[in-house]
Amino acid sequence: MLREKRADEIKAILAKYPPDRKRSAVMPLLYLAQEEYGYCSPEAMREVAEILNLDPTEVKSIVGFYTMFFEHPVGKYVIDVCDDLPCALRGADKFVTHCERKLGVRAGQTTPDGKFTLRTVMCIAACDRAPVIQVNRVYHYDMTEASFDQLVDALAREDGAEHVNPREE
């Protein structure tokens, strides 16, 4: 359980908030749970709700709203490709198709080896540098099909250390 495994971290997070405002710690605790379990499972959301004395439905609504929280297992590397209108005008749609072809999965899916999850997202806030992707919260700008292929190949070989998810460092 999260309370036992990460007690000191939970205590440090809660200490940042007044006792009557501890519900404000929901997002940091969800990040902690996701780091521990790899995603925000129903059990993890229940644990966070119990720690904060919240209804589990409230916690689930936060997980469901924010794209940085995962409700299902994801790959070791989560690749987010922005396909918002400005990025689409700079070729994001074609780029997503290339990413799907390279990885052998459709956007929203994880490769069979569990290494990569490909997602399309709205706005990574770098429209002028599109196509742009985010791999485990590390940004890559001005992507080309070739640069994407090189990145994926490096990550597949495990020599893309700067992209490793914080839970694995």
| pLDDT tens track for 104-162 | 999 999 999 999 999 999 888 888 898 999 998 899 999 999 999 999 999 999 755 55
Q: Tell whether 53 and 83 lie within a shared domain.
A: no
What confidence score (pLDDT) does residue 165 get? Answer: 38
What confidence score (pLDDT) does residue 167 get? Answer: 36
Give the global pTM. 0.77
Please report whether residue 167 resides in a domain: no
**Of 56, 66, 62, 45, the residue nearest 2 (C-alpha):** 45
Q: Any residues with CB less than 8 A from the CB of 22 and at least 6 apart, and which?
A: 14, 52, 53
Range of the domain at 154: 77-160
Number of domains in the chain: 2
Q: Tell whether 61 and 86 lie within a shared domain.
A: no
**Of 80, 160, 64, the residue nearest 118 (C-alpha):** 80
What confidence score (pLDDT) does residue 69 get? Answer: 93
Q: Tell whether 120 and 152 lie within a shared domain.
A: yes
- What pLDDT digit, counting tens, does each position of 24-77 carry? 999 999 999 999 999 999 999 999 999 999 999 999 999 999 888 999 999 999
Q: Tell whether 82 and 145 lie within a shared domain.
A: yes
- Pairwise CA distance, residues 102 & 119, whole Å: 14
SS3 content of the chain, % helix, strand, coil (to 5): 55, 10, 35
Q: Tell whether 42 and 86 lie within a shared domain.
A: no
Please report whether residue 38 resides in a domain: yes
